[in-house]
A and B are shown apart, each in its own frame.
Chain A
Amino acid sequence: MLDIIIGLLMLLSAFASLQNKDLLKSGVFFVVFGFMSGLLWIRLSAPDIAMVEIILGSAITSILIFKLSKGVRDIAVKPEIWRKLWAGAGSLVLFVFLTFYLFTVREEERVGGLVFEKLSLSGVESPVTAVLLNFRGYDTLLEVGVITLAAIGILALEPKRKIYEWNDIVVWRFSKMFLPIIALFSLYITYLGAFSVGGAFQGGSLLAGGLAFLSLSGQKLPIRENPTLFLAMLSLAVFVAFAFAYALVGYGFLTYPLELSTLSIMLIEISICLSTGLLLYIAIRGRL
């Protein structure tokens, strides 16, 4: 019952966000949508995803959308009627085809059983962290590469733009008071990822949220530019270094030796936490 209400609210807020004429209002409805989907992830017993969704998908994406809607001018070109027609027909056909999937889907044992079977070999106790950093390490390595590349692209695109900020005393006081606590807590969540809910991306997105407040209040990190860039690129370097070091010793690319696996995963996770926070801070700020 609760799930149905959350799902309906999700659908309504998505519709309101897409249909609204006012860009500010549609951004606010997008925040509601992100929060509702976070609640739905918790109902679907995926608390790891809920943390990342509420911080990144709801908060940081909306900051980016507000930044865009302030900078971009409305182009008043109405879409032609035929475009609306074929878009409507196409999405209807898409919906009908997707609905056919419901007739074939059934409960079955998937690859998850294998993960729980081999969990003791991974070096961590949380299954999601084990998949992210041990069993499917390639994905995470490439993901770190993708966010690093996105930050490099942003740095290349916005060299002299005015920084998007709110100049609000409340935001400034808040970030001054809470940033140390947020940074400490994000490291704690990263550490917690080895045992239960948490992990590198959860901690990193929390750190990014704290740094986003700092950037929006018009302040700057009290670090010079080159060390910031170095710390932001650190996780890719650490990850690649670990992968190649074990490959050279003879274990294989991204295959950790059993007795060192917990330590290696911990070090990689802490570096990913720091770098994700700083990379998303660069992404919001548009420069170092």
Chain B
Amino acid sequence: MKELYYLLSFLLISMSTYYFITAINFVKRLIAVNILGSGVFLFFVATAKNTPSENPDPVPHALVLTGIVVAVSATALAVSLLLHLSKQREEE
């Protein structure tokens, strides 16, 4: 049962890697990166759950919490950069 979480995270990672390489649009690439991140976070949380003790491991939880916030701020910076880039392309 617990292997299914790992399998789901691996599927998400490899699927979004494929779309990240082949996507023709910036927006699709950004979505692919975000889904890739979600897959990695799922791997971490599944690892945290994979203990014999009652409570899940809080260290991966804290790392994933950090990761989500950093991913969102990186996405925001990427959106700003891409808007800037497409504006410059239009001016040319």
**A87, chain B: closest CB distance, angstroms:** 4
In the complex the two chains form, is A110's CB within 8 Å of B27's CB? Answer: no
- Residues of B52-71 at the interface with A, using a CB-CB cut-off of 8 Å, are 52-53, 55-59, 61-66, 68-71
In the complex the two chains form, is B73's CB within 8 Å of A150's CB? Answer: yes
* Dominant SS among interface residues on chain A: helix
- Residues of B21-36 at the interface with A, using a CB-CB cut-off of 8 Å, are 21-28, 30-32, 34-35
Given A23-B25, A49-B41, also A44-B58 (CB < 8 A): no
Please indicate the chain A residues that have their CB under 8 angstroms from the CB of B46 in the complex: 44
Interface size on A, residues (CB 8 A): 96
Beta-carbon nearest neighbor of A199 in chain B: B65
In the complex the two chains form, is A112's CB within 8 Å of B73's CB? Answer: no
* Dominant SS among interface residues on chain B: helix
Interface core residue of B56, B83, B87 (most chain A CB under 10 Å): B83
Given contacts A34-B38, A68-B83, 6 further A-B contacts (CB under 8 A): A14-B35, A40-B42, A46-B45, A65-B31, A131-B58, A131-B59
Can you list 15 contacts pairing A with B, beta carbon distance less than 8 Å? A18-B23, A18-B35, A45-B49, A61-B72, A64-B75, A65-B31, A67-B79, A75-B24, A98-B14, A112-B55, A132-B66, A143-B66, A146-B73, A157-B83, A283-B76
Residues of A within 8 A of B (CB): 3-4, 7, 10-11, 14-15, 17-19, 23, 26-27, 30, 33-34, 37, 40-41, 44-46, 48-49, 52-53, 56-57, 60-61, 64-65, 67-69, 71-79, 83-84, 86-88, 90-92, 94-95, 98-99, 101-102, 105-113, 115-116, 127-128, 130-132, 136, 139-140, 143, 146-147, 150-151, 153-154, 157-158, 161, 199, 201, 205, 276, 279-280, 283-284, 286
